[in-house]
A and B are shown apart, each in its own frame.
Chain A
């Protein structure tokens, strides 16, 4: 078979799309778009890095900061959200052993999020709207810097993403709770109590323990989805607030920005944002680790009950942890800085430590294990969080925060290591393990390329975070532009590592395209020939 033939048809027959269910296709649509947005975010990161090393002639200051504004939004919503949504919309009915509640809502979710992310990106690319992803008040409504059309475009994009998110949350909970046609009535309230961990909590006080109605990964998905919904409410409220100011300006009725308390706005905004930054990532990731550990080892999870309790605890922690983002704000009450900022944040080390311990022991007890792609990416993901979480605890100390606040340490050693190494490697592990299930047995094109992908991503991700952190310890701020080569040594080294990450992604994408073929890739977006709400074809279930 020639190279071109293989590229078009795929490896060993490629993707047999006619055997796929609508839900398999939708899950793959989420993942493919999510990977493309990941590539866009990686390119944006490299452009900013190159500009920091040697200013690029086609980028001025306003364009640089508009890239900085959309880069995390594309990475978080366009990429991470999309991949996680696709995986969980497939896994929830798969693990509950019932059809998905609504294929249509699932299909609408990816369309809204993909369109919303693209529109939001356009606000930066076309109109240089650059209030940064934190949207600190009153920057988003600074009409001296930004145009009304830029701001409205941005908010329209955010609205699209939030609609997609609410459709996802509804579909997930409805799938867990509803009774499919012809089935015996499902106990919706009991299922909800089990999914949210209330039953698990009550079990601690019961002599006769009640059986859990939902598997552990479903409990993690449910609790993470609660945080995702709460976060979407907060972001939507901020979006509506900004929109009110823009519409007022548009119709000649300017509103005073002092009507909103900037510190209170920052508290509410970070309360919501931390539900995904700390809560959702840690809860979803812990749940995904447990599922991956069980699938890889073929054994039950070690300390299941403790894992459920830890997930419940993590949800409460995620609601009360936000104040570590306001440690350097003079007006922030000390009680919030100490209790929420320091004490609750330090607790994350325990909940995350429990998740790491349970996952590793589950794998250890199943030795000997083959070092498969899913296993090594899972271990990479665990390593990422073992580096990034302590880095976060260090910066959530009132003394250390004076030094590290708003520096490259925060965004490099903590955020990028958590997202690129911890979260993304966990997602890659899920993609490698789900690929044959989602595609009804498509074979990976090259194991050597998968190995290369692993090492380049791991070294690139940790290296980039480390060099950004070193620059931060030398005083390099995270939202400032240095055009005289002040931190060039670190930036060049971080740039080399960033290039490794980009290369790793290109290799992964090439490997996947060669596995399923360009035709297979296009066919994912064509309607399914099988009409069913079941997630896998009936013959697959009986195997």
Chain B
């Protein structure tokens, strides 16, 4: 479940953002964009996993 690993990484990123960003609208918006893109990537990994499982030969 690479999705869960990526979600954990995004949570860690969120904590880092909370500690490091100070008084910057641009940094805030970039952080939000990174979380959105990162989460779409995580969801995309579910599609990849489903695609790989469907392509794998029976019984593998």
Residues of A within 8 A of B (CB): 166, 170, 173-174, 177-179, 185-186, 188-189, 191-192, 226, 229-230, 232-234, 236-238, 240-241, 244, 259-261, 263-265, 267-268, 271, 319, 333, 335-336
Give 17 pairs: A residue, B residue, CB < 8 Å, sorted on A: A166-B4, A170-B3, A173-B3, A173-B46, A178-B53, A179-B50, A179-B54, A185-B55, A233-B10, A233-B14, A237-B17, A241-B15, A263-B23, A264-B21, A267-B28, A271-B32, A336-B25
**Bound-complex Cα distance A233 to B12 (A):** 9
Asked if B47 lies at the interface with its beta carbon under 8 angstroms from chain A, I say yes
Q: Which residues of chain B come closer than 8 Å to A267, judged between CB atoms? A: 28
- Among the listed A170, A177, A268, A335, which residue makes an inter-chain contact with B18, where contact means beta carbons less than 8 Å apart? A268
B13-57, CB < 8 A from A: 13-15, 17-19, 21-23, 25, 28, 31-32, 35-36, 39-40, 42-44, 46-51, 53-55
- Among the listed A188, A259, A335, which residue makes an inter-chain contact with B50, where contact means beta carbons less than 8 Å apart? A188
Taking the nearest CB of chain A, how far is it from the CB of B41, in angstroms?
A: 12
Q: Which residues of chain B come closer than 8 Å to A236, judged between CB atoms? A: 11, 14
**Bound-complex Cα distance A421 to B28 (A):** 35
**Bound-complex Cα distance A44 to B55 (A):** 52
A178 touching B54 in the complex, CB below 8 Å, given contacts A192-B43, A233-B39: yes
Beyond the given A192-B46, A229-B7, could you list 13 further A-B residue pairs with CB under 8 A, ordered by the A residue number?
Answer: A170-B3, A174-B49, A174-B50, A177-B46, A177-B50, A188-B47, A233-B35, A238-B18, A241-B15, A268-B14, A268-B31, A319-B36, A333-B25
- Among the listed B4, B11, B18, B40, which residue makes an inter-chain contact with A264, where contact means beta carbons less than 8 Å apart? B18
User: When the two chains form their complex, are residues A189 and B51 in contact, meaning their CB atoms are under 8 A apart?
Assistant: yes
A237 touching B46 in the complex, CB below 8 Å, given contacts A170-B4, A179-B54: no
User: When the two chains form their complex, are residues A241 and B50 in contact, meaning their CB atoms are under 8 A apart?
Assistant: no
Residues of B within 8 A of A (CB): 1, 3-4, 7, 10-15, 17-19, 21-23, 25, 28, 31-32, 35-36, 39-40, 42-44, 46-51, 53-55
Taking the nearest CB of chain A, how far is it from the CB of B29, in angstroms?
A: 9
Chain B CB within 10 A, most for which of A189, A229, A233, A271? A233
- Among the listed A226, A230, A240, which residue makes an inter-chain contact with B15, where contact means beta carbons less than 8 Å apart? A240
User: When the two chains form their complex, are residues B47 and A264 in contact, meaning their CB atoms are under 8 A apart?
Assistant: no
User: When the two chains form their complex, are residues A241 and B54 in contact, meaning their CB atoms are under 8 A apart?
Assistant: no
**Bound-complex Cα distance A261 to B53 (A):** 45
